[in-house]
Amino acid sequence: MKLRPSQIAALVVAAAVVVVGKTYYRAATASDLDWILAPTAHIVTALGSGHFTFDATAGWVDRDLGFAIAPACAGLHFALAAFVALVVAGLGRIRDARSCARWLVTAAAVAYVTTLVINTLRIVIAIHMHRMDLANREELHRLEGTVIYFGGLCALYAIARALAGRHHEVAR
């Protein structure tokens, strides 16, 4: 498959977003990440899995539960991977600069919302595991995160590919 210049541009933008995002995340504080931590904490609280309040050093904390939604729990790596998966899955939609810009904005918005959903699911499960007082809690938490994130990325990519294929058929 030969790529159009606009498709190559989309891939270059996606790569740049990953580099900039990882650089930003490396030094980000809880306050810097509040744009993604706060909505997650509010949704987790609304679902009845705790009552989280903001702590500038730790993130969103439920002191009674002894659980924090910290910068490491922000899901930013997932968001970046979701963005790249969406850009790649939607390459067939990109025909020119305008459709490229439209798809990049759509991919960013969908990656953000998907990150909130998947990260909330991961944190709710982690809280339930935390309440069980399991042995090897940290290792189980890491495994649970990997499974949830990987499953979320696979589902997101499959849905995006299916929608891109449907869009491609309509555009013909």
pLDDT digits (tens, 9 = 90+) for 98-135: 999 999 999 999 999 999 999 999 999 999 888 887 77
How many domains are there within the chain?
1
**pTM of structure:** 0.89
**Residue spans of the chain under pLDDT 70:** 165-172
pLDDT digits (tens, 9 = 90+) for 88-105: 999 988 999 999 999 999
- Residue 72 has a CB neighbour count (10 Å cut-off) of 12
- Average pLDDT over the chain, rounded to an integer: 91
The dihedral of CA 157, 162, 165, 171: what is its sign? negative
* Within a domain: 45: no
* Within a domain: 93: yes
Domain limits at 109? 5-27+72-165
Measured CA distances, 48 to 87, 101, 128, 159 (Å): 34, 39, 11, 29
* Within a domain: 63: no
* Within a domain: 172: no
> Where in 22-115 does DSSP place strands (E)?
53-55, 59-62, 67-69
Torsion angles phi and psi, residue 3, rounded to 5: -85, 140
Residue 92, judged by CB atoms within 10 A of its CB (0-12, 13-18, 19+), counts as: middle
* Within a domain: 158: yes
* Within a domain: 97: yes
* Within a domain: 57: no
Q: Two tokens at 40?
A: 């997650």
